[in-house]
Amino acid sequence: MDKNQLIPISDIERLKQQIDREKNARELAERQLEVYSREIHLANECLKKSLNDTKKKQAEIEYLTEASYDFSSKLSLINILQNTVSLTGKFFNAEYGIKAIFNKGKLKNGSNALIWSSNNGWGENLELQSFFFKHLPLERLPSDRYYAAPHWFITPLNEEDAVGDQNFQWIIYINLQLESNNSVWIGFLSKIESLDEEALHILEVAKGHLLSGIRQHLSDETIALRNTQLQQTADHLQNTQKQLIQSEKMASLGQLAAGVAHEINNPIGYIRSNLQTLDDYIKEFKLTFKLLEEKIYLNGSLSKQEFNKTVKKKEMNFLLTDAELIVKSNQDGIQRIKEIVVGLKSFSHTADDNLKHISIYECVDNALRIVANEFKYQHQVINELETTLPKVLNNYGKLQQVFVNLLINSAHAMPEGGTMRIHSELHQRYLLIHVEDNGIGMDEKTKSQIFNPFFTTKPVGKGTGLGLSVSYAILETQNISIEVTSELGKGTRFTLGFRLD
């Protein structure tokens, strides 16, 4: 087209309309873009807020979780309180914290009011300690409640309330009752201008956990203390029981002393007499040997006939035979003394608590040797126990003491003489040992009291009233059953039941 040629008006209008449409479209696109940009910005802001809220909730959950873990742990109460201050200080973005235990309004002796720092952890800082104590209402809160301050207290601080070049905006504190008259102050110093109300709510929740943890630990400490006291009491009672058993044993020995001495003196008496006779025989042997030596010296030799004549004249064969019998008799006497001494030694020895497989036959036999003099003259003792009886797991010394007491009791129940019989019943899972006599017996009232301490029907000086009660205590601790059957005027039977392995 020639450039000088005129453009029709209709074309110009169309171009103008096209330009207007493009302009409108561009403006619409710009407005839409602006809307999208605002929406994206708002979405980003929402995401940021949501992320911050999530981080905040996560921090709250972590704080409560860690605090709850400490409260339910086996840490000491002091360590739990210290950990609580550290966790709470970090969660609340505090600069400093304190844990101070007071007794009746005064700092407890031996309690260090250490300062927690967000930068350096725990340490001593007397300046900060004084600052805390200045702003805590130490004298205004009562000490007769479980906790003196039921909630967290928040107090704003002035610009003049400074420590060195540090100015603080707030002091947050709580006071909790511990055991007895003790209470703990927990406080924080914060530089934050505006405190987070939700964080304060979380502190209130944590306070409930802390109170529960304190109660639980105080209860655990009380239980542990009582358990320790009970164990000490049990140990003391056990030692007292051992002393009582040993004292009763010594008392029994005291009653048996005269009889035991008599039992030892008898063999010693005839051993002494036998030794005197042996001394005479030795003198006679020496004279005879001297006579034979003289005859050999005079005659140069000694015939068999002359030797036999001299031996017969001096009764050498009789002396030799009798000397052998005397030596055998002395050996038996010494063996008897040895058995009595061994029995006394095992009986008087302070028994430990060790259990061993022991022979009931040997235990009863040694007990009979100890009390032999009690049955010596007017009594008949029939021991039907066999050496083949199965061994039982028990304490030899204590069981021997039981049998000694039962045997003495039977002897005293037969003041005019009688028969005591010891026999056994062997069953598949247990062994019964019966100790019975045909003495005076007991009525039901007496029988019901025989195991009571200091109960006795014997005259003064004849018994302590402890023998059967101590025996019962021994049997009870050794899981040995005991039954008593008795009839007045006919006799008594004690039956001990031993469980077999």
Cβ-contact 217, 207 below 8 angstroms: no
Among residues 413, 426, 398, 399, which one has the least CA distance to residue 484?
413
What is the fold of 351-501?
Heat Shock Protein 90 (3.30.565)
Whether CATH 3.30.450 fits 72-195 = yes
User: Which residue ranges make up each domain of the chain?
Assistant: 72-195, 234-350, 351-501
State residue 455's pLDDT score. Answer: 56
Q: Which of 269, 283, 273, 265 is nearest to 326 (CA)?
A: 273
Q: What pLDDT, on a 0 to 100 scale, did the predictor assign at position 5?
A: 60
Cβ atoms of 168 and 190 within 8 Å: the answer is: yes
Token pair 């105080």 is at which residue?
A: 218
- For residue 460, the model assigns a pLDDT of 45
pLDDT of residue 146: 40
Q: Which residues of the chain have pLDDT under 70?
A: 1-9, 53-54, 56, 59-60, 67, 70-73, 105, 109-112, 139-150, 217-222, 238-266, 270, 297, 302, 314, 339-340, 342-353, 376, 453-467
Which residues pair with residue 418 across a beta bridge?
379
In this structure, which long-range contacts are made by residues 330-339, counting pairs with CB atoms below 8 Å and at least 24 apart in sequence?
Answer: 330/271, 330/274, 330/275, 332/267, 333/267, 333/268, 333/270, 333/271, 333/274, 334/267, 334/271, 336/263, 336/267, 337/264, 337/267, 337/268, 339/366, 339/369
Query: Residue 244's pLDDT is what?
Result: 59
Q: How many helices (H) and strands (E) does the chain have?
A: 10, 16
Convert the pLDDT of each residue in 409-436 to its tens digit.
888 889 888 999 999 999 888 899 999 9
